[in-house]
Amino acid sequence: MIITLSVYLSLLIFLVAIVARGVRIVNTPIHLRWELYPVPHEKGRSQYGGSRMEEVDWWTKPAKKDSINELVVMLKEILLLKGVWEHNRPLWFGSWTLHFSLYLLIGLMGLQVLSAILLLSGFSFYAEIPELYRLLLKYIAATGFTMGTVGAVIMLKHRMFDKKLRMYNTKSHFFNIIHLGAIYVSGIFWMIADGGFVEQQAELFKGVLSFSQFPAVPTAGIVHVAIVMLFFVYLPFTHMTHFFTKYFIYHDIRWEDKPNIPGGKIEKRIVEAVTQPVSWSAPHIKADGKKTWADLVAMTGAEKEEEV
């Protein structure tokens, strides 16, 4: 029962922390747009690096969106880590295996939720659930755990011996990689400790969905579940939240191209931003915690000299 309650508690902490972080991001002041082109949703222009700003009075004309191309660009970045491939190729394989293994295990969780629903509906795991489906679950798990272990080892090696990366290393970088590696390795041990891994995991999800007691699993399985639950609790408070914050970085900063129309929402948000008091400690900013950004911008060079 303690294990069952721990699972619910960790999931609750994860969901609350993620939602709170998302709400905080949405309510932050408007960000300075990059305005770098091409923008993938520019229909007919992104292929050659253009933008609708090429047209006279472009802001008065409706934007033509290409949602399909935007989705393709997003999928290339999410599934293939295209940016890492283009800008830091030696790091790509380790980073890709580490990330893609997570996608496989997330997919496994989704399929096991389906398995749990079938079990709750009265299906027998071995008699009525197709063998092909059970084999699919097994191979996804084995591939995900193996790829993840390889990726964790490679990324740990890069962090330890790559001179460029070592300049930016923090303790959290090593902890994150080791923690992910522990998830993958403990999953492998669970699979080899007992041939019933797939069924036991399905029963585990069944227990979670039905608020029933934790099923009997080998010690390796309990260790694996404990490490995963700790990861759920820890993840929202780390930079690994880029799995969803990247959406805001791309859509609100990198690809944001809505025109700032007088009296529009963007103008209102800009006014709110420039009327905020500035408390930056950098001496060249001349902030005192009372002056707003608008005040500082309006100050002349002579006035700034007097502030020194």
- How far is the C-alpha of 106 from the C-alpha of 101, rounded, in Å? 9
Query: Is residue 60 within a helix (H) or strand (E), and if so which, with residue range?
Result: none
The backbone torsions φ and ψ at residue 33, rounded to the nearest 5 degrees and listed phi first, read -75, 145
Q: Which two tokens stand for residue 236?
A: 């929202």
Query: Is residue 121 within a helix (H) or strand (E), and if so which, with residue range?
Result: none
Quick check: 114 and 134 in contact, CB under 8 A?
A: no
- How far is the C-alpha of 222 from the C-alpha of 220, rounded, in Å? 6
* Residue 33 CA: distances (Å) to CA of 45, 47, 63, 80, 297: 19, 21, 18, 26, 19
Phi-psi region of 47 (alpha: psi -120 to 50; beta: other; left: phi over 0): alpha
**What is the model's pLDDT at position 53?**
85
Q: Classify domain 2-254 at the CATH class level.
A: mainly alpha
DSSP state letters, 139-201: HHHHHHHHHHHHHHHHHHHHHHH-HHHHTT--HHHHHHHHHHHHHHHHHHHHHHH-TTHHHHH
Q: Could you count the other beta carbons within 10 Å of the beta carbon of residue 290? A: 9
Domain boundaries, the chain: 2-254, 275-307
Q: In a structure prediction context, what are the per-residue pLDDT tens digits for the chain, which is 308 residues long?
A: 677 888 899 999 999 999 999 999 999 888 888 877 888 998 888 888 888 888 899 888 888 889 999 999 999 999 999 999 999 999 999 999 999 999 999 999 999 999 999 999 999 888 888 999 999 999 999 999 999 999 999 999 999 999 888 888 999 999 999 999 999 999 999 999 877 899 999 999 998 998 887 788 899 999 999 999 999 999 999 999 999 999 998 988 889 888 888 898 999 999 998 998 998 888 888 888 889 988 888 875 555 556 55
DSSP state letters, 250-273: IIIIIS------TTSHHHHHHHHH
Name the pTM for this structure. 0.86
Owner of token pair 């790829």: 147
Residue 258 CB partners (closer than 8 Å, separation 6+): 63, 266
The backbone torsions φ and ψ at residue 118, rounded to the nearest 5 degrees and listed phi first, read -65, -40
Closest CA to 155 of 78, 231, 98: 98
